[in-house]
Amino acid sequence: MGFTGDLSYKGFDFNLFLYWNHGNEIFNTVKAFTETPYEQTNMVSYMITDAWRPDNPDATIAQLGGDRQNNYARASDAYIEDGSFLRFKNISIGYTLPKTVSRKIGMEKLRFYAALQNYFTITKYSGRDPELGSTWGVFVQKADLGNYTIPKTMNFGINATF
């Protein structure tokens, strides 16, 4: 779902395009591989202190162990996260010189602008980008496989009409 808004006042113009996705669930594969306590590799410090133990029964990280029989490398629903987000897809602001000024310098119209694309995203998702794009096909569309994120771009420009 999206929203587009335009506003202009005394030579200034502002344009905003944002969209959101609500209720999307993502399997955070990157986090699962990083936090898998299989043979105590790839562990970060909070996993050791926050893992399940008899004195920590409400832990969200599986009990640590070192044998292959415990299957610690299996996928777990503990890595399914809320992938809802609000993304500011395009934001632009510009200023058009008054015609009296632009004509003095030999132009019909002169506008300066700055634009941001994909610059701000509001989400609770712990991965890099909740807007996934999978190169593995339709069977892994809701899995974050660590693909490249959508690039953030910043543009500055001048529109001149002679």
Q: In what order do the strands lie in the sheet with 25-28?
A: 80-82, 25-28, 143-144
DSSP class per residue in 127-162: SS-SS---SS-GGGTTEE--PPPPPPEEEEEEEEE-
Q: Where are the domains of the chain?
A: 2-36+73-161
> What is the pLDDT, as a whole number, of residue 71?
56
Contacts of 150 (CB under 8 A, 6+ apart): 118, 129, 131, 133
pLDDT digit string (tens) for 83-111? 999 999 999 999 999 999 999 999 999 99
Q: What is the pTM of this model?
A: 0.74
In this structure, of 60-64, 82-86, 94-98, 120-124, the range with the lowest mean pLDDT score is 60-64
How many angstroms separate the Cα of 130 from the Cα of each of 61, 68, 141?
A: 22, 32, 11
* Mean pLDDT calculated for residue range 136-162: 84
| pLDDT over 80 at 16, yes or no | yes
